[in-house]
């Protein structure tokens, strides 16, 4: 299920980069191309495909290892990679991605096709809401180059592609605001928000903050980028308030979600 293609893949990709001191011409390697976030709506008992497009930037053939992992995360920065099928909302057992190793010729694109077979039941019941896992893509034979001092340095770029299955017309996200903390970090004043999804369906909320002065005038307004929150996971939003003049403000915080009910909070902020 691996074929050359020039079509950009449409999966959620998360790249983990290793720091190196290689010159630009020596960093050519296999990269994953395409959008950084996607999920697919599907009905129980159906099959669909997603693709991962690999491109070899170098002038020699490269080998890429493909594997599956469960993936969860928390607002405190904890990220867990576990055996596929470990958590109850894993769709890893549904995914067939063909062979575990892919040869990518120099200067060419190769498409890895993931076939997702959505079961009619999960643990004896119809699947509900969102199920997800991660396809790991790791180049194996990247070039090594001797840097200054004769030390061999190798750059490795490992990708984790999130594959989310949304069971059509089922499940509900339930957002919960865990904490709002004002933190001072060096020269920055940051409003930190921890948000959890206790429901059964993924959502991608944005956080918006408005600060009002003593006279009721709007002194500050900012909206964050949306963050993907799977069922049972949590994220942290950070809003920089460093540009706001010192003083006391009435704050209006709103979590605006795609599906879940919005959450609003009012509180006082002293800067």
Q: What is the 3-state secondary structure (H, E, C) of the chain?
A: CEEECCCCCCCEEEEEECCCCCCHHHCCCEEEECCCCCEEEECCCCEEEEEEEEEECCCCCEEEEEEEEEEEECCCCCEEEECCCCCCCECHHHEECCCCEEEECCCCEEEEEEEEECCCCECCECCCCEEEEEEEEEECCCCEEECCCCCEEECCEEEEEEEEEEECCCCCCCEEEEEEEEEEECCEEEEEEEEEECCCCCECCEEEEEEECCCCCEEEEEECCCCCECCCCEEEEEEECCCCCCCEEEEEEEEECCCCCCEEEEEEEEC
Percent of the chain with pLDDT over 90: 70
Task: Give the pLDDT confidence score for residue 146 in this predicted structure.
Answer: 54
* Residue bearing the bigger pLDDT, 80 or 2: 80
- Place 148 in a pLDDT band, splitting at 50, 70 and 90: low
Task: Give the pLDDT confidence score for residue 34 in this predicted structure.
Answer: 75
2-167 and 175-270 in the same fold: yes
The residue-averaged pLDDT of 225-246 equals: 95
The residue-averaged pLDDT of 37-56 equals: 92
Instruction: Judge: domain 2-167, CATH 2.60.40.10.
Output: yes
Residues 109-138: pLDDT tens digits?
Answer: 999 999 999 999 999 999 999 999 999 999
The residue-averaged pLDDT of 158-183 equals: 94
Quote the CA–CA distance of 205 and 123 in Å, as a whole number.
30
Residues 191-230: pLDDT tens digits?
Answer: 999 999 999 999 999 999 999 998 899 999 999 999 999 9
Superfamily of domain 175-270: Intracellular proteinase inhibitor BsuPI (2.60.40.2360)
pLDDT surpassing 70 at residue 24:
no
Domain ranges of the chain: 2-167, 175-270
């Amino acid at each position: 299920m691996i074929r050359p293609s020039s079509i950009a893949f449409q999966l959620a990709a998360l790249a983990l980069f290793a720091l190196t001191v290689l010159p630009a011409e020596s960093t050519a390697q296999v990269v994953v191309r395409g959008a950084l976030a996607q999920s697919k709506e599907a009905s129980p008992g159906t099959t669909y495909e997603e693709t991962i497009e690999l491109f070899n930037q170098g002038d020699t053939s490269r080998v890429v290892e493909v594997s599956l992992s469960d993936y969860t995360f928390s607002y405190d920065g904890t990220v867990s990679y576990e055996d596929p099928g470990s958590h109850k909302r894993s769709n890893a057992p549904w995914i067939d991605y063909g062979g575990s190793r892919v040869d990518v010729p120099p200067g060419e694109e190769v498409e890895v096709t993931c076939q997702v077979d959505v079961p009619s039941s999960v643990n004896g019941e119809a699947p509900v809401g969102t199920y997800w896992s991660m396809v790991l893509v790791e180049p194996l034979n990247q070039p090594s180059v001797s840097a200054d001092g004769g030390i061999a340095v190798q750059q490795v770029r490992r990708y984790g592609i999130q594959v989310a299955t949304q069971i059509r017309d089922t499940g509900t996200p339930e957002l919960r605001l865990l904490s709002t903390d004002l933190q001072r970090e060096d020269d920055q004043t940051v409003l930190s928000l921890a948000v959890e999804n206790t429901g059964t369906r993924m959502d991608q909320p944005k956080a918006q903050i408005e600060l009002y002065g003593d006279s009721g005038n709007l002194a500050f307004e900012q909206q964050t980028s949306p963050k993907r929150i799977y069922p049972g996971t949590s994220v942290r939003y950070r809003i920089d308030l460093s540009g706001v003049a010192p003083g006391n403000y009435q704050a209006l915080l709103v979590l605006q979600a795609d599906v879940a009910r919005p959450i609003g909070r009012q509180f006082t902020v002293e800067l």
